[in-house]
Chains A and B, each alone.
Chain A
Amino acid sequence: GAGVSQSPRYKVAKRGQDVALRCDPISGHVSLFWYQQALGQGPEFLTYFQNEAQLDKSGLPSDRFFAERPEGSVSTLKIQRTQQEDSAVYLCASSLVDRTAPSYNEQFFGPGTRLTVL
């Protein structure tokens, strides 16, 4: 089946604009994660959903960042009033919750959206 898809793949925004980044997880995957990867760095956790519930948003850097997953499938990461420091690749990952497996469920990553704020 298809993997995790993200759109757009590239986004250029002027400082102050709002942007919306979309993630389509693997069908049937309950968990969905967003990570931010700045240039030359490792990804950093932003937020986590289980179905439609946002269980952890501790990594969101400011209240300009907002994520939703209203029907427990597609998720959107919205950034309001973008700043230059928001320039990064935004990665989405999804996973099953298989309680018969060892206490970790593998995350499958999408290709990311590269956001450039001018």
Chain B
Amino acid sequence: AQSVTQLGSHVSVSEGALVLLRCNYSSSVPPYLFWYVQYPNQGLQLLLKYTSAATLVKGINGFEAEFKKSETSFHLTKPSAHMSDAAEYFCAVSKGRAAGNKLTFGGGTRVLVKP
């Protein structure tokens, strides 16, 4: 079975500071990994995905994530936080199309950006 662990349910950063959100996964097969963002009362929006190509993945809004197989991690970073980054972020794993593409999500990390 797959699982995703996000360390820290809440993260507070100052505007302009580094954003680092941690995600560790377990999977019996090479995984597909994702980061989604959720703004209040909205659905999930895909930030970026890892599908076994480059291990450093760049996404929208200046976010990027690095797949580290040896550490079973897929941490999300952004060099300089903006007020608009305040939202909840979810890491997710999938076994891909062969397994129906269903996603297994972590518990989420809520980001607060201080001026």
Contacts and interface: CB of A to CB of B under 8 A. Distances in A.
Nearest to B99: A56
Given A42-B105, A43-B90, A56 B100 contact: yes
B94 A43 contact: no
Interface residues of A, number: 30
Contact of A103 (B43, B97, B104, B107): B97
Interface of B: 4, 6, 9, 32, 36, 41-46, 49, 51-53, 90, 92, 94, 96-98, 100-108
B44 A104 contact: no
B42 A105 contact: no
A5 B24 CA distance: 31
Contacts of A4: 43
Most B C-beta atoms less than 10 A away, residue of A4, A33, A107: A107
23 contacts: A33-B101, A40-B9, A40-B107, A41-B107, A41-B108, A42-B105, A42-B106, A42-B107, A42-B108, A44-B105, A45-B104, A93-B44, A102-B51, A102-B52, A103-B32, A104-B97, A105-B97, A106-B49, A107-B46, A107-B101, A109-B43, A110-B43, A111-B43
